[in-house]
Structures are given as C-alpha cells and as structure tokens.
Homo-oligomer: A and B are copies of this chain.
Amino acid sequence: MRIVRICGLSHNPNVTLYENYADEIGRLIASGTLRAGDPLPSVRQARASRGISASTVFQAYHLLEARGLVRARPRSGYFVLPRPLLREAPPPSRPLAGSHSVAVSELVFEVLSAVKSREIAPLGSAFPSPELFPLEALRRAMNAGMRKLKPWSTVDDLPPGHEPLRRQIARRYLHLGMSVTPEQIVLSNGALDGLNLCLQAVTKPGDAVVVESPCFYAALQALERLGLKAIEVATDSATGIDLAALARLLERRKPQAVWLMTSFQNPLGSLMPNDKKRALVELLARHQAPLIEDDVYAELYHGDAAPLPAKAFDTEGLVLHCSSFSKSLAPGYRVGWALPGRYAERVARLKLMTSLSGSIPAQAALAEYLQDGAFDRHLAQMRRRLQTQQQQMLAALEQHFPAGTRLTRPLGGYFVWVELPPQIDALALHRAAARDAISLAPGPMFSARAEFRHCLRLNTGHPWTPQIEQAIATLGRLAHGLC
C-alpha cells in the first residue's frame, strides 16, 4: 500500500517524484513557512531549483489542490489557500486483504430510514437538500415536453431511451472534449439502476469485484444482491484508489471488474487527477478488466473546470460510465444514463429485461429543460452554494470536534469524511446522535467488513441553519464524551 507522508525533503523511494515534491510543499504549509495567500514556486523556478520537469511540477500542484491546500488562479499560478486546513486529511485506508461476501444492508437501511423524517438533522443523508433544485422550471419543462410526446413514444423510447434526451446528454460531453454519440448512451432509472445493470452485464455470481476502501454502500449492496465478492483497495482521501495496489491485485487475483467513483468519491470526496485516471484506464486495459465508473458528482465541482471522467481516456470500450441528473438537477425524476462502451447492447437488453424502460415523461421533461442554458446557470449557482455550505460545515467541525479529528476538504460533491480519534466508536456516536434527532453515516456502512469504526460521513448539501450548526455542536459534545 502506498502511503503519502508529509515528511520533508528526503526522497521517499516508494512514491513518485511529483508526490515527493507535493509532500515537501505540504510540509512547508503545515509548518507555516508558506502561509495563506503565498504563491507557490512558478514552474520555471521549480524546474531550476529542483531539476524536475514542468509536468512533475504540475502534477504536484494538482495533488496539493486535490488535498485542499492550494488553489490555482487563472494566469497567476498557484497560491496557498486563504484559510488553510487546521485539520490534517485522513491518511489512505489500509483495508484487510482478501475478498469477502458482503452484508452491510441492515445498517444502511437503519440510517436511510432515519433520514426520511423531517425532524431529524439530515447529516447522514445521501442527498443534497431538495430546496437546491429548480422545481418550477422543471414543471414547465415537463408540461412542454409532454405536449411534444407522440403516442408512439412508448414504443420508440424503449431502451436505449428517449432520443432527444440522449442527444442532449451527448452534447454535454462535447464540452468536456469527449466525442459521444446518442447511440452509445443507454438511459436508466437514475445512476443506481445503470450501475446495477452494468455490474450485472460484466459479472456472474461468485465473481470478485474491486471497490474502494471506504466505498459507496450501494456498490456493496449491489455486490451482495448479485452474489459477488468485494476486494477492497486502499484509497487516498485526496486522489482516490491506490493504483500500485490495484495493479498487484489485477495480476494476482484476476478480479472480474472494478467499480470506482473517480470524481468526488462517496464517502471520501477524493478526486483522481486526470493523469491518474488515464493511468487507471491504461492499467485496466492491459488486463482487459472492465471499469464501472460511478460519476454522479462530477457536475458538482468547486473550481472553474469540470473534472474529466476516466471514460475520457477509454479507447477500448472497457469503461462502463454511469451518471444521472439526480444529484445535479432533478432528484425524484430517476433519470440517469450509462455509456457502457462495448457492453452497450448487453446493458440495453438487461434494461429491457428488468424494467422495460425508464419513465418517458421524466426523460421528455429533461430533454426539454436541457435545450437552453438554464442547466448551466442552475449548476453555477448550486456549485457556489455547495462550496459555501462545505466551508461552513468545516469551520463548525473544527470548532466543535475533539483534537485529533481529521477531515477531508473535497473539491466537489457534498460530503465530508471525518476520522475521529481512534477510541471513538462511530456506531456508538450514531446511536447517541439518533437520540438527539441527528442522523449521520457511520464509517462501517462503507466497508464490506465494517471497518472505519471511528469514521463518519457528513452531508454538506443542506443550507446552513442554526439547527444544523446546533447539530454539529451536539455531535462534537457527544464525541468528546466518547473520547
């Protein structure tokens, strides 16, 4: 397992050049040598002083950005963040070796059912606040879309699904520099349906599938439901899965597939840098192992530029990329899509076999809504709100939580991963919090073997209110009590 250490100037032979350089800068920030607003060395300076290539410098700075320590300003280079992290980010995970069957559902359903009550502070929720979405504009789009629907749409729109919506989705990939045609897209009932269909398309019961550690519980539930085994791989809270560990696994264990969230991973919030995504896709292609890419948070980035999906680097059709509008535009519509590459026909057939098609009115409404710039205006506003809410949450956590707590500061999405001091049992905290009408997502939900017992995922997708601030204060008090 690769361990990123902020350990000074000495070269650690187990990490790459750019990681070493990033660690060095990180230490300068941690020690106060570099302070908020200070510029990082320019590429020219770094090349001259360290003898490293421009590409290495950029990779290092991207990594520091992913860690929440620095940010780029257009045409001015990189600067230390105005409010540097008081808390260290959690170290990469160290999952137990081996594959194992999965049974996380009881805990997951317990937490999900708590979230349904409006009386409970929704820190354990998987959804952003429904108030963040343009419901009235969507209703108008629905009405307009339904007027255009022809009776025969019920037959025409069988999988792969409503063509005008597939065309709009393909158009959005163009903005990322990706060439996607409507024919390559299969619409699904939200991303979860697409992910389940893609997983089923490439596996059979008993197969082993690589997941992150920690990973999205719905991936574990999908494995459980289909009788698959999970192999958990160490995952860095900033940059995602450990590629070296993955490479060893592919060599030795021949897993049937890999299921990852490459951008703003749930629960860590990690963002694989583009180069790492490219390396991931190349590695998997060498082993002809399909990648199921859950990319539902990609639109919710904080910076100026959308991250690329791993799919952007897929030349062999081995990446089954899934996304949806559920987190970014229209929760409850259950409209998602898959780009299953060489498995597209198989996925479309599984869609036909399991639920015939998605709901056509919802597909028509979104096709209508996406016709003009409304979606991008909505997203710009939503991203700003989520970023602000994250800052508010992090500030409150730093104020109220015990010393020794580590926090992630993701560059997108709406989760913060909290690593409590090791003596605090997150399940005990979860039960105590439930008595105070606060939900949270305890770490064991995100592991096939109930690891991460002193970790939590908290939702930053709700507008900051006195109720939520109070909930964080209460959680902090409870955590102190469990120390």
Contacts and interface: CB of A to CB of B under 8 A. Distances in A.
B133 A332 contact: no
**Majority DSSP secondary structure for residues of A touching B:** helix
Contacts of A357: 332, 334
A192 B147 CA distance: 27
Contacts of A225: 200, 350, 353-354
Contacts of A135: 149, 151
Interface stretch (A68-76, A138-146, A309-317, A426-434): A138-146
A333 B359 contact: yes
Interface in A135-170: 135, 139, 142-143, 146-147, 149, 151-158
A355 B155 contact: no
Nearest to A335: B359
B154 A130 contact: yes
B189 A359 contact: yes
Contacts of A303: none
A361 interface: yes
Contacts of A349: 105, 109
Given A109-B349, A139-B143, A333 B355 contact: no
A360 interface: yes
A77 interface: no
Given A142-B146, A360-B332, A118 B353 contact: no
Given A355-B355, A359-B358, A331 B154 contact: yes
A375 to B, nearest CB: 17
A218 B353 contact: yes
Given A196-B354, A225-B354, A155 B359 contact: no
Interface in A178-227: 188-190, 192-193, 196, 200, 204-205, 218, 221-222, 225, 227
A247 interface: no
Interface in A309-333: 326, 331-333
Contact of A156 (B116, B147, B200, B358): B116
Interface in A115-131: 115-116, 118, 125, 127, 130-131
A104 to B, nearest CB: 11
A355 B189 CA distance: 6
A112 interface: yes
B151 A146 contact: no
A365 interface: yes
A151 B139 contact: no
A362 B331 CA distance: 13
Interface string A248-278: 0000000000000000000000000000000
A142 B332 contact: no
Nearest to A220: B353
B358 A155 contact: no
Nearest to A151: B130
A345 to B, nearest CB: 9
B355 A157 contact: no
> Which 7 A-B pairs rank lowest in CB-CB distance, beginning with the nearest?
A359-B359, A154-B332, A130-B151, A332-B360, A193-B355, A154-B331, A189-B355
17 contacts: A105-B353, A115-B155, A130-B155, A139-B147, A142-B142, A142-B361, A189-B189, A189-B358, A190-B355, A193-B354, A193-B355, A196-B353, A200-B225, A225-B353, A332-B357, A332-B359, A355-B355
Interface of A: 105, 109, 112, 115-116, 118, 125, 127, 130-131, 133, 135, 139, 142-143, 146-147, 149, 151-158, 188-190, 192-193, 196, 200, 204-205, 218, 221-222, 225, 227, 326, 331-335, 349-350, 352-362, 365
